[in-house]
Amino acid sequence: MVWVKICGVRDVESARLVAECRPDAIGLNFYPGSPRAVSAEVARSIARGLPAGIEAVGVFVNSAAADVAETVRSCALHRVQFHGDEPPQLLAEFHRLSPPTPIIRAWRFGPQGLRALQDYVARCQTLGVPVAAVLVDAHLPGRYGGTGVALPWDEVRCDYASRSLPPLILAGGLNADNVAAAVTSIEPWGVDVASGVESAPGVKDAELVARFVNGARGTTKKPHT
C-alpha cells in the first residue's frame, strides 16, 4: 500500500484532524521562508501527540547538519527530509550524528530530468549515506516545495524507471482529485501533499485530507471521529 505524507502541518489542532484521517506521516516544516513553517516547540507538541503508526517527518532547507540532528533529538522526529540544495557531504555529516534516522532526499524535477539525481545518489552511497527514499517535486526557481505545480507524470515515470534509484515519493501538484490517477500511472512508493489539501496557504482542510488519503489508497473509508 502506498505511503502517504501530509506535509506542512503547523499547529496541534490541525495535526489532530489530519491524524484522524490516518496518513502514514505528517510533515513538519522547519524552513522559516515557508508559510507552513513550525517552531521547534510546536513541532515537539505535535510529534508527541501523534497516534502510533503515524510518523513525524522533519522538513529542512539548507540547515546545518548539527542543527537538524538536534531538532530530530529534541522533537522526537522519525525521519528527515532534506528539501534544499544540501550537498551529499551534509547528508553524510547528519548521518554520522544521527545514524538511525531515515533520510528522504527531495529533488526538483526540471528540464534535465533525473540524471543529476542519479549522480547525487551515487555520491551519497560512496559516502556511506543510506538514502531511504527520494521525493520528486516540481522545479520552480527560488521555491522549495509547496508550489502546487504539477509534474509531467509520464516523463517522471519513464525517467525514474530507467535508473537505479531509491524508492520514489511523488509530490508536486497532487490533490484529492488526481492522486488516485497519479498512483495508478506512476506506481510510486509514496505520495506527499501540502497545498493540495489546503483551504488557504498553510491551512489544512480535513475533508480534502481524508479524500486525499483515501484516494491514494484506493478506498472510500471515512476518517476516524
Please identify every residue annotated as catalytic.
7, 137
Cα distance between residue 102 and residue 176, in whole Å? 27
Lookup: cell for 47: 510529534
Q: Are 170 and 137 in contact (CB under 8 A)?
A: no
DSSP-derived letter for residue 34 is S
Cα distance between residue 90 and residue 150, in whole Å? 29
Q: How many CA atoms lie within 13 A of 215 on its CB side?
A: 22
Cα distance between residue 33 and residue 50, in whole Å? 25
- Quick one: how far is CA 145 from the chain centroid? 9
Cα distance between residue 192 and residue 23, in whole Å? 10
